[in-house]
Amino acid sequence: MAKTSTKKSPFEFIRQVKSEMKKVTWPSRKETGVSTIAVFFMVFFSAVFLFCADQILAFIVSLILNIGM
């Protein structure tokens, strides 16, 4: 099977990149701020949840291991 070359010149590539970048819909400043705050809240609540789950599991494991002593 013969390979077809799809290489483009660097100038053609840059022209196509510029063309595609014009099609991008960028979020507004407000949308970016709201999304950032939502991410921080989710990270915080996930960290709290995982910390609590870890503490509970550590307590249960220590109870199990102390039974044999």
22: three-class secondary structure by DSSP: helix
Residue 15 lies in a domain: no
Domain boundaries, position 57: 33-69
* pLDDT tens-digit profile, the chain (69 residues): 555 567 778 899 999 999 999 999 999 999 999 999 999 999 999 999 999 999 999 999 999 998 866
Whether 6 is in a domain gets the answer no
Give the position of tokens 């950032």: 36
Q: What is this structure's pTM?
A: 0.61
State residue 8's pLDDT score: 77
| 17 located within any domain | no
Provide the number of structural domains found in the chain: 1
Residues in CB range of 27: below 8 A, 6 or more apart: 35
Residue 53 CA to residue 57 CA, distance in Å, equals 6
In a domain, residue 55? The reply is yes
